[in-house]
């Protein structure tokens, strides 16, 4: 039964040849996956380093100025400007730079248990930096 060189005949001829695994497609897919994960990992929202529990208010109006600098104040007086924790000196530098750079408004997001003196301190810095608008954010 040697007629036509059937499947087994071809298999036997190939079996003796060197088998090479092509790595180029495997490397391409690996790099594409690496690039995908690097790009998607940079877009994750970072969680704040401290939680701010906003006081509740019956007024449902929201701040309308999307360019406003947001200063968060924890109940122990720690500060964050636009999500980055800062000290008093850096707070002033950032607010003054924002006012000069076309962001002349600030929204204060203070914890419900924050002592009044911490809020007043931020308001004083905003006034020194000639911020034109001041907003207080609240929970709903």
When pLDDT is cut at 50, 70 and 90, the band that residue 102 belongs to is confident
User: 126 with 52: CB under 8 angstroms?
Assistant: no
Query: With bands split at pLDDT 50, 70 and 90, how would you rate the model's confidence at 60?
Result: low
Cα radius of gyration (the chain)? 31
Please state, rounded to an integer, the average pLDDT across all residues of the chain: 80
Please, what are the domains in the chain?
Answer: 7-41 (no CATH), 69-136 (3.30.420.270)
Q: Quick one: three-class SS letters along 67-91?
A: CCEEEEECCCCCEEECCEEECHHHH
% of residues, the chain, pLDDT over 70: 71
Residue 86 has φ and ψ, to the nearest 5°, of -135, 165
pTM for this entry: 0.57
Q: Which residues pair with 85 in a beta bridge?
A: 80
Q: What is the pLDDT of residue 11?
A: 60
pLDDT for residue 120 is more than 80: yes
Q: What's the pLDDT at 112? A: 83
Tokens of 9: 């005949």
Give residue 61's pLDDT: 57
Pairing of strands 105-110, 84-86: unpaired
Which helix (H) or strand (E) segment holds residue 80: the answer is strand 79-81
Residue 122 contacts residue 91 (beta carbons within 8 Å): yes
Is the pLDDT at 3 greater than 60? The verdict is no
């Amino acid at each position: 039964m040697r007629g036509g060189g059937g499947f087994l005949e071809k298999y036997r001829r190939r079996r003796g040849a060197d088998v090479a695994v092509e790595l180029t497609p495997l490397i391409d897919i690996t790099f594409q996956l690496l690039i995908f994960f690097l790009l998607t990992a940079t877009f994750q929202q970072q969680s704040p380093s401290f939680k701010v529990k906003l006081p509740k208010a019956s007024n449902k109006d929201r701040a309308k100025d999307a360019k406003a600098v947001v200063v968060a104040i924890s109940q122990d007086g720690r500060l964050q400007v636009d999500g980055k924790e800062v000290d008093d000196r850096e707070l002033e530098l950032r607010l003054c730079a924002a006012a000069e750079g076309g962001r002349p408004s600030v929204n204060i997001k203070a914890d419900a248990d924050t002592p009044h003196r911490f809020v007043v301190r931020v308001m004083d810095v905003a006034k020194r930096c000639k911020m034109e608008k001041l907003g207080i954010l609240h929970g709903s």
